[in-house]
Every structure is written in structure tokens, then in C-alpha cells.
Structure 1
């Protein structure tokens, strides 16, 4: 997710494909797809060649590749990507012989960045937050189910022999704490929307025969406003606003990577 997002869904033809078959092996051909959470925004160590996609050497795909030494590794994840961008811009670059594909997408389809700005910045109002979350919930009900189904079928068609692991999103915020980032009620509603998003992603992944990596549990207690102070989500970054509310290097390494690795090895 980033500060400027193309949230409008684009009608694209469904592409039917076979279910993934093979497991990730040491000689895997690995392709990573998705949005800023897969690119590693806010983790630093960006590949200059990736430009505004801001792909990081500390992202969970890069960490998995460094740990498992696949025969081939390609990340085309990009900040701001929604499902339409995965289909249009990323999948054409995925080798047909890929044996492992990971994907994090869906947040930008709900305009999460706008909701975060409306709910979590200082001086914003409850009415503004409610309007933004109402719209995100509408998109989740009316548009995202079809967008995810279309995307997952396209992934299967592009890499028919691949094991596909799709990830959810963590709770960005802790509740029950005194914190200047939003009100407790706003944080709770934002997390509830994340739960509904993750549940939808998991249902659609199960239908397509994909593995689902649920990262909410490892991130629990490490969101913004954590009592421990050990936050794995960045707060508002004024000097690079596009990094706000994204996983830190610790969040990528300890929140995303273990669950993705486990799902890839099943």
C-alpha cells in the first residue's frame, strides 16, 4: 500500500488454469508478486533499479530466497499494486516454469492507505474515518471477492506447476493502550476490517488450492501503539510518507518470513 493508490477495479477477462501441484524444493524457481508489503516498503535497503516499486533486500521474498537459494528468483512486487496491476503488469513477467509463487495483494483494492490517513493521522475526525472505512467495507463486499478470484485464476494459468502461497495482512494497530495514533475505537474498527480482508483472502485461496500464510498471530503485540514498545509496523514517516504503516525489517523477518516459509514447505 502507498499514499497514492489506484483503487478502481478494471474489468479483465477471467483466465482459467490448473491448480498448483508441486512443492517448493531447493531448486525452486521462485516468483514473488504483490504490493508494498511484498516489496518490503519501510524495510529499507531498496533496489534502486526498482524505482517507485521500492523493492527491499529485507522483504520476505528476498529473505526467503537468501535462506533457501532457489535456482531462480524474481520479485516483481510493487508499491501501490492492486489486483489489476498483478494481472496486467506482474504476471506477464512470471516464468511459466515457476515452482513457487508468493502473493500479497488486496489492501490497495480497499484503498487502505486512504482509510489509514482518514483514521490514524492527528486532527482527523471520527466522521471522516467512518466514511473511509464504510467505503473500504463496501469494496470488500462488492468488488474484492471477484477481483481476488480473477487474480488467483490468472496466477494458476501463468504458473500451472507452481505451489502458490498467498499472505494476509497483520493488524497494524494495538488496542487498549493510550496512544496518539487514532482513537482506540478507530484502531479496533481498522483491525476488524483487516480480519475481514484476511478471511476473504483465505477463502478465495482455499477455493483455488493455494496455501494461506496468516501473519496476524506473529504480529500480535507488535502493532503501532504496542505496550512493549516493540513495534513491527512503522508509524507515520513524515520524510517518506509512503513508508507509513508498513512492516519494519523485524516485521518482514519475524512476522512474514516464518509463516511464508512454513506454507511453502507444506
Structure 2
């Protein structure tokens, strides 16, 4: 038997209010894979996971910080000294097909950034030695790295077909126009110019694959080594742990990389 109109209206209103008051289903926790080199691993940020060995993955790196803030299930495969082919061969097999978020920082080791730092950013080297090393790095950037990045980015998409992928660049490591015992002004300028070229290549190739590019250079501006006033977010030469030299500090990860990446996730 049909309900009287006032009763029917009251019942409908009660059901509507109940539906509005019911808590929305919580979004599932992100399934997050962090890939890349020492900048992704958090080298120089401290608090290393002993189980990561020479990969030196840090609980203060941007992947661990983002995962903690969002309750994400993190697969952190980033490893110090990794190049693009290393990520594709050694790290991607750890990425599950249902991964929803991927971040990636890689490319510097493919250019020999460690050799460039030794040959350009320590007091006893020469301009000629620095120039030769940077010329070699530029050759790798022009002739080899584009293909390596394309192969890696295609493999990332195949491994995690539905994931949101954010690829980061690198900060300029050195401030210019300031007094600095680490390197001459000309060496700092040329080293930074190579970083800019690397970042632009990463941006072009990642965006061509439909990935977001996180440009960390603006937020790091003024915070590089030889900052001349601002807090330095990049280590200079760390004599006790040379492998931490010219890497972001914990502040560089938390205040530089993290907000830039988080804005795109």
C-alpha cells in the first residue's frame, strides 16, 4: 500500500540525510615505486637503511618522506651509482604491475658526474682537465643518453601501465658569482650549464612518454654549494664520506625535492 505523501517525503528525506552523512570510502593507499640513483636514494641525507648496503637508501630521501606522508606502500629500489640501464635491468623487475605511483631520478651517472666532480670541483685540478671531462660528458649526453632514457621510460610504462610517473631533474650544484674555494667561477658555470642541458633532455624525453617532469632547479636556487649567504642544501666535499659529496642534504631532500615532486603527485 502506498505511503501517505507526508510519510513518503519524510522517509525520502531521512534516506537522503543518511546517505550524505555516511563516510565516503577511503581511497586505497598508493602503491609507490621509487627508482633511480643516489639523488633518489637520499645519499648525504643520513639515516641510511643498513639493509640497502652500498645503495645507501635514506629514510630522509624524498621517496621515503612522501610515502610516510601519504601512507603509501613503498618499494624503494633506488641505488647509488645507478645509471639508466641499471634501473631498467636491476630495479624495474621489483615494480609490481598494479603500482599507482612511480618516481624516477636518473641520468647523471650516465654522463660521468662523479668523474666530472673530481676533475672540476676540487682545488688541485686544472681547467684543461675539467674541460676534457665535461666534453666527454657532453658527448654522452648528445649521443647515448637520449636512447637510454627512451628505452627506460618505455620499460617503466610497460612495468606499471596505470601509474602516475614523475621524473625529476637535478639541481645546479654550485652557486656562481660568490667566493668559493671548491672551483673557479668558469668551472662552476660550465658544470651548471651541463646540468641545465641534462635537465632539458630529461624533461623533453619524459614528457614525450607522457610523464610529468619535476624541475628542482628553481627551489634549489641560491642553496647550492658556495651559496654565499643562503643555507646550503648541497654538500661540498665530504672528506669522511667522499660518496656524499655534491649531493642534497636532508634539507635539500625535504625542502627541495619533496615539495617539487609532491606538487605533481
User: With structure 1 as the length reference, what TM-score do the two structures score?
Assistant: 0.89
243 and 87 in structure 1: CA distance in 2 versus 1, 3 angstrom threshold = same
Q: CA deviation at 1:178?
A: 1.0
> What is the total number of aligned residue pairs between the two structures?
239
Distance 1:144 1:28 in 2: 31
Residue 257 (structure 1) aligned with residue 255 (structure 2): no
Residue 132 (structure 1) aligned with residue 133 (structure 2): yes
Give CA-to-partner distance per residue, 1:62-102, whole Å, 9 cap, x none.
000111112x1110000000001001100001111100000
Distance 2:74 2:94 in 1: 12
Give CA-to-partner distance per residue, 1:191-238, whole Å, 9 cap, x none.
000000000000001100000000000000000000115100001111
> Residue 149 of structure 1 corresponds to which residue in structure 2?
150
> Residue 43 of structure 1 corresponds to which residue in structure 2?
45
Contact 2:115 2:133 in 1 (8 A): yes
Distance 1:203 1:26 in 2: 32
Contact 1:26 1:69 in 2 (8 A): no
SS in 2 for 1:239: coil
Query: Could you say which structure has the greater relative contact order, defined with CA pairs below 8 angstroms and 6 or more residues apart?
Result: 1
SS in 1 for 2:99: coil
SS in 2 for 1:187: helix
Distance 2:144 2:264 in 1: 27
> Residue 200 of structure 2 corresponds to which residue in structure 1?
199
Larger Rg belongs to? 2
Residue 242 (structure 1) aligned with residue 243 (structure 2): yes
> Residue 94 of structure 1 corresponds to which residue in structure 2?
95
Runs of 4+ in 1 over 2 A off after TM superposition: none
> Residue 168 of structure 1 corresponds to which residue in structure 2?
169
> Residue 228 of structure 2 corresponds to which residue in structure 1?
227
Two-structure CA RMSD over aligned residues (Å)? 0.8
Q: CA deviation at 1:26?
A: 5.7
Distance 1:238 1:227 in 2: 21
Residue 109 (structure 1) aligned with residue 104 (structure 2): no
Distance 1:195 1:122 in 2: 23
Q: What is the aligned counterpart of 1:65 among 61, 64, 67?
A: 67
> Residue 32 of structure 2 corresponds to which residue in structure 1?
30
> Residue 20 of structure 2 corresponds to which residue in structure 1?
none
User: Any stretches of 5+ residues in structure 1 without a counterpart?
Assistant: 1-24
Q: CA deviation at 1:103?
A: 0.2
